Structure 1
Amino acid sequence: MQQTSTTINKNSPSFDIFQDEEQKQLWEHQIGEHSASFSDVQKVGNKKISINVQFSSLGGLKVLEVYLGPCKVFRDLKTVKNDTRQDLICQVLVLSGSCDLVFGGDKIRLNKGEIVLIDTTKPMQFEVKKNLHCLIIYMPLVLIHDWIPRIWDNLETRLIKTNTTQGSLLKSYMQLIQKHSEINRKEVPKKKDSKRAFVPLIVANMSMLVYALIHINKSRPKTAREMQLDAAKYHILIHLSDANVSPKTISKELGFSIRYLHWLFHQEKETVSQYIMRKRIEQAQALLGSSADSFFSITEIAFMCGFNDSTHFSRRFKQHVGLPPSKYRYDRYRNK
């Protein structure tokens, strides 16, 4: 992890990042109450910060394109502990410029073309010395944490380089989400099921993010079989919302026989179809446990997880989890 010079003197006077209460309320209205945690960020010094934010959204994701001038801001431990709102994860892509970031105990120099993940569970501070242009995607932290809890809790780095295959794909998905969210903001959807058009994009971004984190936090050399199995699992995660994904489509895409694909998964004591269903149910659990019905309905979650209809989804979900989706959501989300 590259060391940076960003430090906040505890004796330095700090001020609310917003100039007045009206500006703060406008921000919270635009970003939505579920995503308002970072509205309590403080700045060092009382100089006005040059900032321009373009808001849009896609389903339950909040998408921000931010132009930020020189500043030094922070969110301290006391603020983190007092925040009772839903924990969020911010997926930040630097489009131009750079900044020095401190998150928890990690210090990162963030440059153009790099992606970093921060969330609302730890203190944070960052400094922009010139100008910064970045793309930020907000989503509930539980969507990622509950999918890969052991990996997330033991991350060696939150910095994703976009000169890798995984980082490059993640960057492209983030930019596609930005494009479609802007279209969604400007144009009134004509059909009830219009969300189905961008559901695969949301799921692909989440899956690619998980895959990138798994990739950068594994250092042990892999055998050819392990790499082939990873490639198959990666393909499944990216296409999880596609109801037609199957051993046949996977083997065709990866260039080996269906029989060989089954052999790869047999070593894991799980069939290809069982793995696909398990990941779909796990993703559904994360979505249900992190969102109210106003974010995603159960029918929309069914489509996001690769089911053609909510009846089939509800039946499968209850078989695996022991509760219908509506009851699972009530028990998890209402008690947060």
Structure 2
Amino acid sequence: MMASALHKSIESASGREFAGLARNLFGNVRLEFGAADEKRSRMVSAMLGACRLTRLEVDRHIVFGEHATAGPDDPDSIKLLVQTEGDACLDQGGLHAPISADALVIYDPSRPYMLTNSTPVRQLLLQLPRHALPHAAIERLTRPFTAHAEYDGMCRILLSLMDSTMHEIGHLDAARRSSVGQTMVDLVRTMIGADLQQARPIANPLDLLLQRIKIFIESELARPDLSVTMIARRMGCSVRYIYRAFEVECLTPSDYIWDLRLQKAAARLRDAGGYAGEISGIAFALGFSSSAHFSRAFRHRYGLSPSQWRKARIS
């Protein structure tokens, strides 16, 4: 039972399914194989707490990331790519960054990029939540950050840890994966922010995550399908980390969403005409599935129906 549960948390794809899973895990990317053999493509991916680690074996191809984080379902994470075999280069922000064996590149996929894999490649891709890195480090990623294991000890350690983790991933439970993921985050923070040690203390990463979640929720409040899973995907972390971020609020993420919807509905009703059509419009604009659902939730929250609230002009 335990082994079965562990393997269920690992995602994999090969051949024609490769591109679909790539878009699902990495955002709105476009892959072009040209005359290469797409059927030779394979990937294995797993969450490591707030991070995602993926092993890819792919024939030569090009990845276009013009709109990698364009939609609310696209993961908003910083990417770290380790090249273990083959040759590739990343073009972003006017920088042409060659990637060779035992080299890594860290880049911000929210900025347009093109990754050209000119030979068949073996790669390890680590996705780190944006909030896991110092703000000053994120600001630097207008252009890719590169390192090579031959010259950088941290790069060697990280490469070895990522490689060994992929070999053992099927034997690690959630707690151990989370611990390994945090170690990788710490290594990356040290690599990219070594000269930031004298900077002012960085805010609690969970506080930063909570701020970003709240901004995202407010921007997507009209979506009836807004869910914790969608939020986790957009933030590039696990559902468990979303719940951890909300512990300080003493609310679940879902409770926060519905409470925010009702607060906004109450505010809009003050300026509404109060007739059924307008009240229904407010309900649907805030993600409620029906007028009846809205009325029940509103009465439970405020002790009055939406129309009674409007007439009473309660502030």
TM-score after normalising by structure 1: 0.53
Within 5 Å, which residues of 2 pair with 1:4-83? 25=20, 27=21, 35-38=25-28, 40-43=29-32, 45=34, 48-49=37-38, 50-76=40-66, 79-80=67-68, 82-83=70-71
C-alpha separation between the residues in 1 aligned to 2:41 and 2:136?
37
- Say if 2:98 is the partner of 1:112: no
- Say if 2:271 is the partner of 1:285: no
Gaps of 5+ in 2: 1-13, 214-227, 233-237, 262-315
C-alpha separation between the residues in 1 aligned to 2:126 and 2:55?
9
Once the 2 structures are TM-superposed, how far is the Cα of residue 176 of structure 1 from its aligned partner? Answer: 4.0
Once the 2 structures are TM-superposed, how far is the Cα of residue 108 of structure 1 from its aligned partner? Answer: 0.3
Q: 1:138 to 1:128 in 2, by over 3 A?
A: same
Q: What's 1:174 paired with? A: 162
Q: 1:149 to 1:111 in 2, by over 3 A?
A: same
Q: 1:81 to 1:62 in 2, by over 3 A?
A: closer
- Say if 2:136 is the partner of 1:150: yes
SS at match of 1:95: strand
SS at match of 2:101: coil
Q: 1:114 to 1:140 in 2, by over 3 A?
A: same
Q: What's 2:89 paired with? A: 100
The answer to whether the 8 Å contact 2:47/2:177 transfers is no
The answer to whether the 8 Å contact 1:140/1:290 transfers is no
SS at match of 1:297: helix
Aligned-partner residue type, residue 57 of structure 1 = M
Once the 2 structures are TM-superposed, how far is the Cα of residue 135 of structure 1 from its aligned partner? Answer: 0.8
C-alpha separation between the residues in 2 aligned to 1:113 and 1:103?
21
Once the 2 structures are TM-superposed, how far is the Cα of residue 180 of structure 1 from its aligned partner? Answer: 4.0
Once the 2 structures are TM-superposed, how far is the Cα of residue 43 of structure 1 from its aligned partner? Answer: 1.8
C-alpha separation between the residues in 1 aligned to 2:210 and 2:161?
23
Q: What's 2:275 paired with? A: none
Q: What's 2:174 paired with? A: 195
Q: 1:288 to 1:175 in 2, by over 3 A?
A: farther
Alignment size in residue pairs = 221
Q: What's 1:91 paired with? A: 80
Q: Deviations over 1:266-286 (max 9, x none)?
A: xx99xxxxx7xxx6x612224
SS at match of 1:205: helix
Aligned-partner residue type, residue 61 of structure 1 = C
Gaps of 5+ in 1: 1-17, 185-193, 220-229, 234-267, 270-274, 303-312
Which moved further from structure 2: 148-157 or 96-105? 148-157
Once the 2 structures are TM-superposed, how far is the Cα of residue 96 of structure 1 from its aligned partner? Answer: 1.4
Q: Which of 135, 138, 145 is residue 127 of structure 2 equivalent to?
A: 138
Q: Deviations over 1:30-82 (max 9, x none)?
A: x8x5x3404x3142746543422223333343322111222233233xx3574
Q: Deviations over 1:96-147 (max 9, x none)?
A: 1221211232210001111111332111212222221111122333332xxx
C-alpha separation between the residues in 1 aligned to 2:83 and 2:212?
27
Aligned-partner residue type, residue 240 of structure 2 = S
Q: 1:105 to 1:195 in 2, by over 3 A?
A: same
Answer with 1 or 2: which has the greater Rg: 2
Once the 2 structures are TM-superposed, how far is the Cα of residue 19 of structure 1 from its aligned partner? Answer: 8.8
% identical aligned pairs: 12
C-alpha separation between the residues in 2 aligned to 1:196 and 1:47?
40
Q: What's 1:125 paired with? A: 114
SS at match of 2:64: strand
Q: 1:200 to 1:105 in 2, by over 3 A?
A: same
TM-score after normalising by structure 2: 0.56
Q: 1:325 to 1:112 in 2, by over 3 A?
A: farther
Once the 2 structures are TM-superposed, how far is the Cα of residue 325 of structure 1 from its aligned partner? Answer: 7.6
The answer to whether the 8 Å contact 2:91/2:113 transfers is yes
